[in-house]
Amino acid sequence: MTTLGAVYLEAGLFSRLGGKVKELSGSIQTVAIVTDDTVKDLYLRPAIDSFERAGLRPLCFSIPPGEESKSAAMYIALLNWLAESRLTRTDAIAALGGGVVGDLAGFAAATYLRGIPLVQIPTTLLAMVDSSIGGKTGIDLPAGKNLAGAFYQPLATFCDPELLAPLPPEVLTDGWAEAVKYGMIRSAPLLESLSSSLLLAPNAEIIKTCIGIKQDIVQRDEFDTGERQLLNFGHTVGHAIETLSGYTVSHGRAVAIGMSVITRAAVRKGLCPPECQTALERALAVFGLPQQTDYSPAALYEASLSDKKRAGGAITEIIPRAAGECVLHKMPSGELLDWITLGVQP
């Protein structure tokens, strides 16, 4: 069983960040905060204050927001900055931001000096419920998303739901798509509660449930060789849509479409009851998440072939069997085209 970093989830936690990091490791002296220019304006000053109050020396590297920053060029620039700043193995990187910041900073932490301590401080719902948990780090290559990276567990993840307050609804929506994913793969009750239109804002309870599902799965399959692949539900087609759109379709929206395509295909193939599709569609509709794409099946299939889920001539797709239950389904790569073709039809 793997040892995942501790996850702290508490409203107001952010102001006590410095002390918490100090508690984790007395040897950390310098904290290299990696953030983006949007998050910087909101949260860099209080983060610096908190680290300084704890007697730590904060430094900052800020990137332009957006998927384009998860590039090889930015990764090298970050490594060079860490080296110029003379970060040592007893210092730490703090990823303050959403999924892009967490993946990039995490990959730098995994590889700089062959690995230095990392703390994740997610500031988006998507990062809180998914990307900051479980140790996946990486960057994109021109051929596709997340094609270079490492499994590298953070020392700790600090989730403060109060940080979500200033987020525009469209950014929250991306996180809700991942929450719907957890409902589909593991918890019909979660899917049901997400479908309740009473849920207007993320609350600690929902975040805790999603994190619990993810930790449970990652504990058993840290390196993504089996059960963890369930977390990729909707992601093969989702990543294809992100790539084809040049990342103008956001991750959560792309995954929402990906989940819809595969679920429609599974129902049409008689592998899953229509009630499952209804439950998914209801939950996605609550958050205004899209369920259709205009990209052709051939284009989606072509773009999905660079996906990591392909091994030899086969691809492992995640298909629903019922609301709250998905399974891994290994198929020849060519069969994926049938699935996509069946699933994109309205």
Question: Contact positions toward ligand GLY, by CB under 6 A?
Answer: 130, 134, 136, 224, 228, 231
**Nearest to ligand GLY by Cβ — which residue?**
231
With 0-12 / 13-18 / 19 or more C-beta atoms within 10 angstroms meaning exposed / middle / buried, residue 290 is middle
Min CB(258)–ligand GLY separation in Å = 13
Q: Which is nearer to ligand GLY, 40 or 228 (CB)?
A: 228
Look up tokens 């504990």; give the residue.
219
Min CB(193)–ligand GLY separation in Å = 21
With 0-12 / 13-18 / 19 or more C-beta atoms within 10 angstroms meaning exposed / middle / buried, residue 224 is middle
Min CB(130)–ligand GLY separation in Å = 5
Sequential DSSP letters for 169-190: HHHHHHHHHHHHHHHHHH-HHH
Min CB(275)–ligand GLY separation in Å = 26
Q: What tokens appear for 159 in the block?
A: 């989730």
Count how many Cα atoms sit within 13 Å of the Cα of residue 200 in the half-sphere of its side chain.
2
Total residues found in the chain within this entry: 346
Helix (H) or strand (E) holding 62: strand 57-63
Min CB(126)–ligand GLY separation in Å = 10
Q: What tokens appear for 328 in the block?
A: 């891994």
* Residue 289, C-beta contacts closer than 8 angstroms, at least 6 positions apart: 173, 176, 177, 180, 252, 253, 256
At 57 the three-state DSSP class reads strand
Euclidean distance between CA atoms 116 and 137, whole angstroms:
14
Q: Which is nearer to ligand GLY, 91 or 222 (CB)?
A: 222
Q: Which is nearer to ligand GLY, 96 or 255 (CB)?
A: 255
Q: Which is nearer to ligand GLY, 90 or 223 (CB)?
A: 223
Min CB(136)–ligand GLY separation in Å = 4
